[in-house]
Amino acid sequence: TFENLPVTLLLCTVQHVRETVQYLNQVSYFAMVMYFDHKIFPSRHVVVTASNILSGMQWSIITDGVEKAATAVLGPVISLNSVYSHNCHQYYGDLAHIKVAARKDSTVQKNTRLRHLGQQVLLLESQRCEVGLSKNEDGDDDERSYVLLIYENTNALVTRDCVPLGTLLVSLLAHQMLLQTIGTILLQGTRHIIPSLAGVVPNTNEDRILLTLPEDSIEKLLSCLEMSYTTAVEFDSRPGLKFLLQKVAQLERAANLYRQAGAAWTINLITLFDLCIHNCDVSPQGGYMSEFLPKLRQSLEQLCDTYIDILLDKDGQHSAVDKLDEKITFIIAQTDELPGLSGTPSEKSVEEPSKSTTAESKTDLTEEEMDVKEDDVMDKGDVEKRELVAEIEKQKCESICKDREAHMGVWAEMLVSSLELLCQLDDSHLKTLLPAVFPTVRSLTAHATHSSLKHQLATLYDKLAVIYGFSNQA
């Protein structure tokens, strides 16, 4: 059946893939995609190996699949973002309400793998550390799975949505794979690849896929990159959500999607560079230039504005997640019973309350403090309290990558990469793109503080001085 065809294709050799695609030219819809959790997901392997024989209609089918896949895998993050307003510091949201359900239905091995995955998708590489067992003495945390339950408000009894932690992490991993597929389609064969994308888009094939794509397919892929970037930026502007996921996923740093935002934005930037340059060579009088040049300008200005906003954030609002100390509470639920999406909790879902639970709190779902040790320490003497506070302060001081510093560093790196791309252009192409990049260069001249960014600005000014004939190097 056609339903099983994609799985078969993935097991074929490259030569067999080519032969199969040629043979099944009329049913390319089934040959170009695979199924992921009952959703269409484009096969990067098939796309790359068969790119030179695909028709415009087949590319439209593939990009439709990419668009649907992007919407599907970003769904859990978008759901969580909708609970918080911009710069919301409340752990449980202000536009809706989140409760964290803990179920004793997992194993130490599964949770260790999830913690590894959490570090991969929610932290920068420089922020990761060795994953060990939970510090809880009774080991309960290592046998729990967590679900984020979304309610309309604190008094609601029916969930609006639920996002299991495992689903969130796997979806973000799938999105990384999807970005690789999009990057391969748009950037394969480009001369403007940068080191930060080397692991995302291996540029080993000289065939340029981008220049053979229909215009509507290009637009869909660029819109997917914009959705990826926007979703990541919205996530990173919600300190309460970032800290909640740090605690639930047991991360050493505040959760962030800086890596996702950086990859999506950089792929988009290089694609716009290539489109503007190519269409300038093919049709200097217009063509795609009138469409893509404003997009390039808007993309650069957006990134520059974010960098300056973080830089001028003297009160540390973006890094306020480092200062939050509110306690996180969990709902304890039985393995197979959580509040449904359209009903009230079952009476069978009650777990034996802890000894500290009062009679009034014995409802279907009881609440338990996330860190049991903290309550024990608070009952001890002042000396131990001071020692605890001192230890916490020491850990904060030893933290290498604070959230704000990491945020600003990633954005500075992206700006440096964009300036490097400009400096790589020949004189005629740089003149063509100068109207789009000038506002960003002007703003960075006034505000940039990173030495690498200042150095790259100076290099660009030197190149412009040579082009316009007022440099001694001319």
Q: Give yes or no for a contact between 253 and 127, defined as CB atoms under 8 angstroms apart.
A: yes
pLDDT confidence of residue 404: 80
- 17-26, 201-210, 399-408: range with lowest mean pLDDT: 17-26
Angstrom distance (rounded) from CA 51 to CA 42 = 13
Which residues on adjacent β-strands are paired with residue 150? 98, 161
Sign of torsion over alpha carbons 422, 423, 424, 429: positive
In angstroms, the CA 120 to CA 174 distance is 12
Quick one: tokens of 400?
A: 């290498």
Q: Residue 211 has which token pair?
A: 């220049």
Query: How do residues 134-161 score in pLDDT, each as one tens digit?
Result: 545 445 557 788 999 999 988 888 999 9
> What are the pLDDT digits (tens) for 152-185?
988 888 999 999 999 999 999 999 989 988 988 8
Residue 323 in tokens: 């200062």
Nearest to 180, CA basis, from 69, 255, 80? 69
Query: Region 282-306: what's the mean pLDDT?
Result: 78
Mean pLDDT (the chain) is 74
The phi, psi pair for 70, rounded to 5°, reads -60, -45
Q: How many other CB atoms are there within 10 angstroms of residue 453's CB atom?
A: 19
What distances in angstroms separate CA 68 from CA 75, 174, 216, 218, 231, one per listed residue?
A: 11, 13, 15, 15, 15
**Has this prediction a pTM greater than 0.85?**
no
Say yes or no to pLDDT of 383 above 50: yes
* Pick from 94, 86, 6: nearest CA to 47: 6
pLDDT band at 384 (very low <50, low <70, confident <90, very high): low
β-pair partners for 34: 41
Could you tell me the residue ranges of all domains in the chain?
1-70, 74-372
52-61, 70-79, 115-124, 285-294: the lowest-pLDDT one: 285-294
